[in-house]
Amino acid sequence: MKTKKGLWLVVLLLAISSLMAAMSYSSATVTSAMTGTVKSTTDSLLALNKGDHNAARIEDGVLKIDFNQGNKTSLPVTTYGVQKDSEYIWNGLFSVKNNSENVVAVSIKTENNPANGVSIFVRAGKGDWQQIDSTRSAKIDNLPIAFKTNGQHEAKIDVKVVVAKGASLGNFNPNIVVTGEAVNK
């Protein structure tokens, strides 16, 4: 008899707990503190730093690349340019630094395409040159450009501009887009 009462008590407790679970809330809102700081590109979690070329500079906290810059001290010319049927390479034009705690895969592309007849390529380290534009990011071994980077790692990026023989004279101004995505370790 005591066993039956004990069994009924267990069944009753299970029924009450099921009823209580069914009565739990359907939604909830919880507020927690959050902070952040907007920093210059050189001090951000995915930092971009200029290299040792006049073509790259930090202006108003943003990396700016201007392929028209040359050695301004040699001639009284404020800007230069690239010519048809040519190829220009800037080794270490800029670098990408991972300041996060995650391993990050990095991809680089342009926001809009350069002018007809102008192609832009990038590589990290001794990797292969990869053409970039607004529809394709540079990839090596099916990973975004040339490297996965651990926290506090910095990779120098080389840039190559190839101008075809039939390219039109004039300006080109694609924005460069650098994306970092955390990957499983």
pLDDT at 21: 62
Mean of pLDDT values over 37-42 = 86
Query: Each residue of 43-71: pLDDT tens digit?
Result: 998 999 999 888 899 999 999 998 887 66
Q: CA triplet 184, 122, 82: central angle to 5 degrees?
A: 160
HSE-CB at 37 with a 13 A cutoff on CA atoms is 6
Q: Is pLDDT at 38 greater than 90 in this prediction?
A: no
174: nearest Cα among 144, 136, 127, 123:
136
CB 106 within 8 A of CB 48: no
**Is CATH 2.60.40 what the domain over 41-182 is classified as, yes or no?**
yes
> 3-class DSSP state for residue 16?
helix
Mean of pLDDT values over 106-114 = 83
Query: Each residue of 4-23: pLDDT tens digit?
Result: 777 777 777 777 777 666 66
pLDDT at 101: 83
pLDDT at 23: 63
Q: Is pLDDT at 79 greater than 60 in this prediction?
A: yes
pLDDT at 92: 94
Query: Each residue of 116-169: pLDDT tens digit?
Result: 889 999 988 788 888 887 666 655 343 344 456 677 788 899 999 999 999 888
Q: Is pLDDT at 24 greater than 80 in this prediction?
A: no
pLDDT at 78: 64
Domain positions in the chain? 41-182
Torsion over CA: 163, 165, 169, 174 (sign): negative
pLDDT at 116: 84
Percent of the chain residues topping a pLDDT of 70:
78
Supply the DSSP string of 84-129, one letter for each residue.
Answer: SSEEEEEEEEEEEEE-SSS-EEEEEEESSPPPTTEEEEEEETT---
pLDDT at 142: 38
* Nearest-angstrom CA–CA distance, 64 and 16: 66
